[in-house]
Structure 1
Amino acid sequence: MDFRRLTYFLAIVDHGGFTRAAAALYVSQPSLSQAIHVLERELGSSLFHRMGRKAVLTEAGSALVAPAREALHALELARARVGAVRELRAGRLEIAAMASPTIEPLSTMLRRFTERHPAVSISLRVALTREDAIERVRTGGCELALLTTSSPLPHADFVAHHVGDHRLVLVTPPDGPFPPGRAVGGEQLAGRRLIVGQRGTGIRAYVDDLKAQGIDVRIAVESEHRMAFLPLVLAGIGLAVVTESWTDLAERAGALVLDLEPACVQRNVLVTRRAQLTPAARAFLEVAVPAGS
């Protein structure tokens, strides 16, 4: 049903006739009458008794008044809410993120965004692998995905915004096999028990590369839960290769964090679809992506 015709209908009710309603709406009376005729045909009932310059509601017309006001109120409410989202006075933004970049750089991104747009709520979705993160964006479940990768994205439908790099580091117990302050070469991990993530992650790829080079690293635990890595390391179950974003947490927990050599760098990228983004997603990119990148 045309909301314009409902507006015309209520104007006639409120102003007591077609002539006054037409003047209040700044439309010609024939146009107003034509719109009401169309509305009556749509509803299959006459809405007014025409009595000279007066218009008296029929029974059907009286039944339409309340629903018409409710419909127009709902429309105005919808317009107000859309306007609030557009102006970032409300709204919700869903972001998929892998574990390591959730610590950093996502924490800093969220702080900056929420300082600027406190009325927009953020929903974070767990992505276990790079492909999981991209799939959430592809299917529309999330507008943005933050992931760590060592290779270009093979998907032409997405845009990857570079938001910084992180080196891989080795986390050991404080009394671990390597002295503090000295980098550890990959060959030195031979015979060591490692705690690793599942395939599809950059830290697992590093360990798999060592094995492909003939270095006898041994997988003690494979876990999807990154927060389990530190307790497992501190319990003496194995060593863990993670991104340097974990350094502060690991050291505060009492673990030893060592550089790896040669250095292995992972890129943090914020992924979006090439389609038009919502105002909230565009605003997030403005605070997340360094100028000129």
Structure 2
Amino acid sequence: MDFRQLTYFLAIVDHGGFNRAAAALYVSQPSLSQAIQGLERDVGSCLFHRMGRRVVLTEAGTALVPRAREALHALELARASVGAVRELRGGRLEIATMASPTIEPLSTMVQRFTERYPAVSLSVRVALTREDVVEMVRTGGCELGLLTTSSPLPSRDVIPHHVGDDRLVLVTPMDGPFPVGQAVQREQLAGHRLIVGQRGTGIRAYVDDLKALGIDVRIAVETEHRMAFLPLVLGGVGLAVVTASWADLSERAGALVLDLEPASLQHNILVSRKAQLTPAARAFLEVAVPPAHRSSL
């Protein structure tokens, strides 16, 4: 078993098949298949069920995933630690993030980091819910994760770093049902059609709480794609509750942004692994997390 085999194995897992993994790795599919066959001989078990062009992890393959990630992380840590003396001169950092904080605070974090460490490559991976973010960090898929939440995190396997709060606002067409400049009481949303995210997000939780309070809001569209909210709102499909970080973009697109009453806050949390971090991950935390909220790095 070698690190190349483990890299190929995880690429198939992450990209969902041999063809996509080979393209992402810039290797031929026969070379990829041969490496996996060698890995399967080494571990003495089949790692994938082949179903036409699709592959599904076997029980042995599922068991290998976290161990493979740990092994590659250890190698990356060793390589990065050797190469990092006074400043980072290369390397790669993967960050998992929910959709809401991708505009802010992630954009500012990335801007500050790349200004200070331009040689480090960042990879931002999408996670649909806060549980997805935590799982990607916990299992080693990413070293850091950014999520929004209004309640405690569901896992003790990661270290949380509070990086600010974001209130929820209402986005409507400019000729929508509410006057400019006046906050919208949550009871006023009764009878209106809303565009919502999937379950597990703070925005969806807010809408579900309205329904639990007996406020008759109607879900017009449920979508995982946050960038679809604005076109749908401007097209008259419905109204959308989003975090205030989207306010500027919404207004520039021609939508009306209104405060909601009572105010509802979402907490932006950057989570890191409990295992030792690479220099790039530690440097990102130092740039992104206010000193008062910074755990021991």
Structure 1 length normalisation: TM-score? 0.72
Counterpart code for 1:241 = V
Q: How many residues align?
A: 215
Residues 92-131 of structure 1: pairs in structure 2 closer than 5 A: 92-131=92-131
1:238 aligns with 2:238: yes
Deviations 1:77-124 (A, max 9, x none): xx9876325641010000001111110000000000001100000000
Matching residue of 2:132:
132
Give the superposition deviation at 1:153: 1.2
Counterpart code for 1:253 = A
Looking at structure 1, the residues matched to 160 and 253 of structure 2 have their Cα atoms a distance apart, in angstroms, of 33
1:172 aligns with 2:190: no
Give the superposition deviation at 1:156: 1.6
SS, match of residue 128 in structure 1? coil
CA contact (8 A) 1:96 1:146 kept: yes
CA contact (8 A) 1:143 1:272 kept: yes
Counterpart code for 1:120 = V
CA contact (8 A) 1:103 1:245 kept: yes
1:198 aligns with 2:201: no
Distance 1:82 1:184, change over 3 A: same
Looking at structure 2, the residues matched to 208 and 151 of structure 1 have their Cα atoms a distance apart, in angstroms, of 15
CA contact (8 A) 2:131 2:154 kept: no
SS, match of residue 292 in structure 2? coil
Counterpart code for 2:83 = A
Matching residue of 1:186:
186
Root mean square deviation, CA, Å: 1.3
Q: Which stretches of structure 1, 4 residues or longer, exceed 4 Å deviation after superposition?
A: 79-82
1:152 aligns with 2:134: no
CA contact (8 A) 1:85 1:91 kept: no
Give the superposition deviation at 1:211: 0.3
CA contact (8 A) 2:149 2:268 kept: yes
Distance 1:92 1:80, change over 3 A: closer
Give the superposition deviation at 1:274: 1.4
Counterpart code for 1:89 = R
Distance 1:239 1:130, change over 3 A: same
CA contact (8 A) 2:189 2:217 kept: yes
Distance 1:85 1:94, change over 3 A: farther
Residues 266-277 of structure 1: pairs in structure 2 closer than 5 A: 266-277=266-277
Looking at structure 2, the residues matched to 202 and 85 of structure 1 have their Cα atoms a distance apart, in angstroms, of 38
1:84 aligns with 2:67: no
Deviations 1:25-73 (A, max 9, x none): xxxxxxxxxxxxxxxxxxxxxxxxxxxxxxxxxxxxxxxxxxxxxxxxx
Residues 258-269 of structure 1: pairs in structure 2 closer than 5 A: 258-269=258-269
Counterpart code for 1:252 = R
Looking at structure 2, the residues matched to 80 and 262 of structure 1 have their Cα atoms a distance apart, in angstroms, of 51
SS, match of residue 291 in structure 2? coil
Unaligned ranges ≥5, structure 1: 1-78
1:228 aligns with 2:239: no
CA contact (8 A) 2:80 2:278 kept: no
Distance 1:272 1:81, change over 3 A: closer
1:285 aligns with 2:285: yes
Unaligned ranges ≥5, structure 2: 1-77
Looking at structure 2, the residues matched to 103 and 164 of structure 1 have their Cα atoms a distance apart, in angstroms, of 14
Counterpart code for 2:214 = G
SS, match of residue 204 in structure 2? helix
CA contact (8 A) 1:95 1:124 kept: yes
The percentage of counterpart residues that share the same residue type is 78
Q: Which stretch shows the higher mean deviation, 232-241 or 148-157?
A: 148-157
CA contact (8 A) 1:174 1:256 kept: yes
Matching residue of 1:209:
209
CA contact (8 A) 1:149 1:202 kept: yes
Deviations 1:237-264 (A, max 9, x none): 0000000000010000000000000000
SS, match of residue 256 in structure 1? strand
CA contact (8 A) 2:81 2:278 kept: no
Q: Which has the larger radius of gyration?
A: 1
Counterpart code for 1:230 = L
CA contact (8 A) 1:90 1:120 kept: yes
Counterpart code for 2:106 = L
Matching residue of 1:162:
162
Looking at structure 2, the residues matched to 80 and 93 of structure 1 have their Cα atoms a distance apart, in angstroms, of 13
SS, match of residue 230 in structure 1? helix
Looking at structure 2, the residues matched to 220 and 81 of structure 1 have their Cα atoms a distance apart, in angstroms, of 48
SS, match of residue 272 in structure 2? strand
